[in-house]
Structure 1
Amino acid sequence: MNYYPKNPDASGSITVVFRYKLTFHSCTQIDSWTCLGNCGTEISVELNIVNQELSGEWCQREGIMTRQFVSNAPLQLQLSGGDWMSNKQRVTSWRAETLVELRNRSDTGRANGSPQTTIVPVLRVPSNCRRDFHLLAFDPDGDEIKCRYGNATLAECDVCTPPSVLSLSSSCTLSFSPTTSGDEGSYAVQLVMEDFTRQTITLTQHNGSNMILNANVAISKLPVQFILKVDPVVPSCTEGVYLPKFLPPTPANRARLYTPVNQSLDISIIAEANVSTISELLFSGPHNVNQTRVGVGEYILRWTPSENEDGQSHPICFSLQAVFKSVTCPMNISLLH
């Protein structure tokens, strides 16, 4: 979940747009967030399909929830229930929490903007290949972003057992090292992404109350949860042989691209795999991103921002899959637009 506070109106009320992505086996699954604290008034909720995996394994949808707040006190949004995809840690029920900070920041003069991120629902890696996943992490206020595993005591997940096959850095990089066939399978990854100010600031509420916040305390947090699939070995871990290799003009990982409102942004993606066959482009981003396949290993993602998205940043993550004798060979990249 990412959130976008708009400027207060003449009465001081704040409208906040929450954009979140959830993934289920079915595109018709209904979700419901519970609000705690300063919940304001829900104006609208819109659900749209982002992307669906060709085999039908998953369907990701984007929810756009708009709320109006008379007060700028903080709030929490929680999601709980359901069933995780079967995984090695035996995590069953899911739980996620977003902490929203709306008080006025002394350094920017406005409400806090959340970190920006997204991810494809399932990341895949062959069991014999080392891989570093540099998660998309951008903050509109220039804050430092850090990642950690969820904490059950803080109600950030139900069962919070981290994947044994991954190591996580605070800078939001997940590292996978070659392992044995016994570790192949699916893992539930339940992360929390937080933003930290780079100096001590004051948070001011409409009622005049103040809070001093130093750089050691997170100002907001959001959940980042997905499945890591450790697949069978591939004959070579060299990119471009079995695993797809991105080629120019594919944007670099964590690249930032800009486009005006109502003008289309075309993202060209080209990749090669000399032995395996590139079969599919998977992506996560705004629901109105359209995918076109130009040729083998060549795709275009096209997005046209609307007036409602003016001034906002929107993350896009994409992954290419290749198949060799029924073994999936993935490669991933993420961007900010």
Structure 2
Amino acid sequence: MLLFVLLVMMMVSWTEAGYTGGVLTHTSKDVQENSFTVVFRFKFGFSSCGELETWICSGCTKKIDESSGEWCLGEYTVRGSSSFYNYYYGSWSSTWINNTNGVSSGLAQMFIEGRKRSDINRANSSPQTGILPVMRVPSNCQRNINLLTFDPDGDHVQCRHGSNPSNYECYTCTPPSVLSLSSSCSLSFSPTSSSDEGSYAVQLMMEDFPRQTITLTRYDGYTTSISTSSSMSRIPVQFVFKVDPAAPSCTAGEYLPRFLPPTPEHGAQFFIDINEMIEINIRAEATQSVITELLFSGPVNMTKNSSGSGNFTLRWTPSDIDNEESHPICFAVQATSVSDLIRSC
């Protein structure tokens, strides 16, 4: 069985103790009569790996990557069987790092449609997306961030800010004042003043909608129909958006890095077999800065290597347990200004 590997690329440069965001997704597979296998993936970030490792249970959270002293990203995976039932959900709560929009208590919950769909003869799978725990932009630079919006079932995907405490989408639902969000899951940042610099908690909900009216069948045979205006899943996409002091230049490739070939394009898809290694080569440049590292979010056990400044490789080999799943990968390069290096000596 082939697997999807999905890419989202970001140019960022890189925060206080606590939660820095996360993404919850679920995949339905292995249908047998009135039941199926469901895989929940909880990716979440904290300001240290010590917090990450002990947050749910010691030893059951696997580290993915870290930006030393700033954030640590890991994954907690649950696999089990479920009958074709109505809605169910998975969630977590924690305490955000200090942020400008006043969000302290964090809540992330996904809502899952578990009945059999008439168009695919299995339960719904959520959209697949990825994000780094902290994204940084200079206060004087226009930036557009297009989130990955791949849906394994071919559904239409939309995004909105979490806005309903009674439905456990968030406790304090104040969106960042410096970001605008489109329903197509694009975030836009416009140049702003130094008074807006700081960290913001971003709490989004990503939803998938069927492209035609379909019938949903419960384990006991009860059916109902839903239209294209009814969401099937609602998953949280949360991260820290940090507005830094102004950069000397906003031109990509000078102080801020830019990607070069053979780096795959944003949204690229790869089809690979079980036990087949995927290798993703990444190259970036910044003429007025020194590129220091690659940061990524992806499958557990993915490795990264560097072969010189601005040259990186991600490698991963899926096993049988990854069969019939889609795995989003996002990455960013971090750079340090040459003038900063001189001042630090």
SS of residue paired to 2:95: coil
Partner of 2:12: none
Whether 2:28 is the aligned partner of 1:5: answer: yes
Distance 1:183 1:128 in 2: 11
Whole-angstrom distance in 1 between the partners of 2:223 and 2:147: 34
Residues 31 and 106 of structure 1, relative CA distance in 2, 3 Å threshold: farther
- Work out the CA distance in 2 between the residues paired with 1:217 and 1:101: 11
Which residue of 205, 224, 230 corresponds with 1:192?
205
Moved more, 63-72 or 179-188: 63-72
Q: Which has the higher contact order (CA 8 A, sep 6+)?
A: 2
TM-score normalised to structure 2 length: 0.87
Q: Residues of 2 paired with 1:31 and 1:258: CA distance?
A: 34
Partner AA of 2:114 in structure 1: L
Paired position in structure 1 for 2:289: 276
* Contact kept? 1:89, 1:187, Cα under 8 Å: yes
Q: Contact conserved, 2:274 with 2:317, CA < 8 A, in 1? A: yes
Q: Does 1:50 align with 2:73?
A: no
TM-score normalised according to structure 1 size: 0.89
Does the 8 Å contact 2:161/2:205 carry over to 1?
Answer: yes
- Which residue of structure 1 aligns with residue 304 of structure 2? 291
SS in 2 for 1:140: coil
Offset at residue 154 of structure 1 (A): 2.3
- 3-state DSSP of counterpart to 2:195: helix
2:218 alignment partner in structure 1: 205
The equivalent position to 1:303 in structure 2, one of 313, 316, 325, is 316
Letter of the 1:16 partner, please give it: V
- Of the three residues 111, 127, 133, the one matched with 1:99 is 111
Q: 1:25 to 1:245 in 2, by over 3 A?
A: same
**Could you report, residue by residue, the CA deviation over 1:128-178 in whole angstroms, capped at 9, with x for unpaired residues?**
000000001100111000000001232201101000000000000000000
Does the 8 Å CA contact 1:123/1:229 hold for their aligned counterparts?
yes
Amino acid across the alignment from 1:7: D
Report if the CA contact (8 A) 1:112-1:141 is conserved. Answer: yes
**Superposition RMSD in Å:** 1.6
Q: Deviations over 1:226-259 (max 9, x none)?
A: 0001011111111000110100000011111122
8 Å Cα contact 2:139-2:246 kept in structure 1: yes
Contact 1:14 1:72 (C-alpha < 8 Å) held by counterparts: no
Question: What is the match of residue 21 of structure 1?
Answer: 43
> Residue 125 of structure 1 aligns with which residue?
137
One-letter amino acid of the structure 2 residue matched with residue 13 of structure 1 = S
Whole-Å Cα distance in 2 between the matches of residues 101 and 326 of structure 1?
A: 51
Counterparts of residues 217-296 of structure 1 (less than 5 Å): 217-296=230-309
Of the structure 1 ranges 130-139 and 66-75, higher mean CA displacement relative to structure 2 is found in 66-75
**In 2, Cα distance between the equivalents of 1:2 and 1:230?**
28
Quick one: percent identity of the two aligned structures? Answer: 49
User: What does residue 95 of structure 2 align with?
Assistant: 83
Mark the runs of 5 or more structure 2 residues left unpaired by the alignment: 1-23
Tell me, in whole angstroms, the C-alpha distance in 2 between the residues paired with 1:109 and 1:311: 15
Partner of 1:134: 146
Q: Label 1:28 to 1:9 Cα distance change in 2 as closer, same or farther (>3 A).
A: farther
Once the two structures are superposed, residues 57-85 of structure 1 have per-residue CA deviations (whole angstroms, 9 ceiling, x without a partner) of 111111111122245332011212x2101
Distance across 2 between alignment mates of 1:323 and 1:7: 47
Change (3 A) 1:326 1:21: farther
Asked if the contact 1:32/1:79 (under 8 Å) is kept, the reply is: no
Whole-Å separation in 2 of the counterparts to 1:211 and 1:71: 13
Aligned partners of 1:89 and 1:163 also within 8 Å: yes
Give me the whole-angstrom Cα distance separating, in 1, the residues matched to 2:203 and 2:133. Answer: 12
User: 1:215, 1:239 → 2: CA distance?
Assistant: 40
Among 168, 175, 187, the residue aligned to 1:162: 175
C-alpha separation between the residues in 2 aligned to 1:70 and 1:213?
20
Matched, 1:66 2:79: yes
- Residue identity opposite 1:23 in structure 2: G
Question: What runs of 5+ residues in structure 1 fail to find an aligned partner?
Answer: 34-44, 328-337
Measure the CA separation in 1 of the matches of 2:72 and 2:227: 40
What is residue 330 of structure 1 aligned with on the other side?
none
Q: How far has the Cα of 1:46 moved from its partner?
A: 4.2
Give aligned pairs, total.
Answer: 313
Equivalents in 2 of 1:245, 1:78: separation in Å? 36
Give the partner amino acid of 2:25: N
